[in-house]
Structure formats: structure tokens, C-alpha cells
């Protein structure tokens, strides 16, 4: 940073209350992003899912991680423009399927109605996964999707 820019930045900090002002501003922005993320996370995954996720973070470690996920994954990434929630959900499902993250994939598969992802969309996404990430990854995801679409928990056989 050049001297003039550095001086300008320093003067700007002084006008806003110095580093204390910056800290207060950052906390406020962090809280706003968390609240935006919480709203988005509930809209996509459902309020019940989100409440269970936060209940699972019973200790400070877990609670801090849930806040991080909500603020950055849901507030910053899911909350940004460009893609619709439907499009972003299809990308997420494809990535989770490709990585073999079956538990997280199952949660997102259950939430597809919240974002308008259709069975046809899922089929198309999983065909992409088969081509670019491999058939075994896609087959596991197809099985999970079939279970969930039949109303059974992923990985369990539906009761006939």
C-alpha cells in the first residue's frame, strides 16, 4: 500500500473509532451474515433440520462450528446472488454425491422440495456425477435418492 493510501486508511479508522470501531463493525456484519444464513438454511433444509443441527452442537466446540457453517456456508455462499437456490442445491447434491458424503447427501435429498429440485433434476445431476466422478459414486447416490423418494431413510429398505 502506498503512503497516501496507508494514511487515508489510517485516517478512516480514526474517524470510525479506531480498531474498536472496526471490531464493532465486523461483529455487526458477522451477526447480519449469521442471521441471513440462518434464514436461508431454514428455507432450504427446513426449520426442524436446522434445530436438530444446532441441538447436536451442545458444547462450545459444536455450537461454534454450527455458527461458522451458518454464517459462511449459508450466509455468504448460499446467500450470494448468481445462482437460484434450486441451481445451488443441484450443485451441492452433485458435489456431495461425487465425494461420497452419504449422510449430508441424504439431508439435501430430503430437502429438494424446498428448492424445487425435481426427480428429473436429480436424475440429470446424478448422470453428470457418473460421467465426471465415476459410476460407483453415482450408484450410491442413486440408491440414496431412491430410498428417500420411496419415503425410507437413505440406506434402509422401505417397508412394503
Q: What is the C-alpha separation between 29 and 151, in angstroms, rounded? A: 40
pTM: 0.76
How much of the chain exceeds pLDDT 90, in percent?
64
Q: What is the C-alpha separation between 101 and 137, in angstroms, rounded? A: 9
Mean pLDDT of the chain: 85
- Return all residues near 111 (Cβ < 8 A) that are at least 6 apart: 44, 45, 46, 49, 89
Please determine, for residue 50, whether its predicted confidence score (pLDDT) is greater than 80.
Answer: yes
Complete domains list, the chain, with CATH: 9-80 (no CATH), 84-151 (1.20.1290.10)
Q: Which of 52-61, 80-89, 109-118 shows the lowest mean pLDDT across its residues?
A: 52-61
- Measured from the Cβ of residue 92, the count of other Cβ atoms closer than 10 Å reads 21
Q: What is the C-alpha separation between 55 and 111, in angstroms, rounded? A: 19
Q: What is the C-alpha separation between 88 and 3, in angstroms, rounded? A: 43
Which pLDDT belongs to residue 140?
97
Amino acid at each position: 500500500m502506498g503512503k497516501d493510501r496507508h494514511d487515508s486508511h489510517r485516517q478512516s479508522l480514526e474517524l470510525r473509532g479506531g480498531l474498536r470501531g472496526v471490531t464493532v463493525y465486523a461483529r455487526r456484519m458477522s451477526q447480519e451474515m449469521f442471521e441471513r444464513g440462518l434464514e436461508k438454511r431454514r428455507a432450504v433444509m427446513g426449520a426442524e433440520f436446522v434445530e436438530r443441527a444446532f441441538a447436536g452442537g451442545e458444547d462450545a466446540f459444536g455450537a461454534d462450528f454450527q455458527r461458522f457453517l451458518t454464517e459462511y456456508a449459508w450466509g455468504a455462499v448460499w446467500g450470494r446472488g448468481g445462482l437460484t437456490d434450486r441451481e445451488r442445491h443441484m450443485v451441492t447434491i452433485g458435489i456431495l454425491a461425487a465425494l461420497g458424503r452419504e449422510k449430508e447427501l441424504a439431508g439435501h435429498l430430503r430437502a429438494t422440495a424446498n428448492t424445487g429440485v425435481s426427480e428429473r433434476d436429480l436424475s440429470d445431476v446424478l448422470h453428470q456425477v457418473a460421467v465426471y466422478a465415476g459410476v460407483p459414486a453415482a450408484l450410491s447416490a442413486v440408491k440414496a435418492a431412491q430410498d428417500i423418494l420411496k419415503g425410507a431413510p437413505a440406506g434402509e429398505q422401505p417397508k412394503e
